[in-house]
Amino acid sequence: MPDHNELLTLVSTHISDMSTMSSSIFDTITPAFIKCAYKRAPRQHERGWENISMLAPHIAAHFKLLITKANAPRSWKEAKLTPIHIKEGRTITEN
Q: H helices of 1-95, where?
A: 4-17, 31-36, 56-69
pLDDT, one tens digit per residue, over 73-90 is: 787 777 777 777 777 777
pLDDT, one tens digit per residue, over 8-64 is: 999 999 888 888 777 766 567 888 888 888 899 999 888 999 888 999 999 999 888
Angle (CA) 12 13 15, round 5°: 65
In DSSP notation, 63-76 reads: HHHHHHHT---GGG
The answer to whether the pTM exceeds 0.75 is no
Amino acid present at 56 = A
| Chain centroid offset of residue 42 CA | 25
Is a pLDDT exceeding 90 seen at residue 4? no
Phi, psi of 49 (to 5 degrees): -125, 160
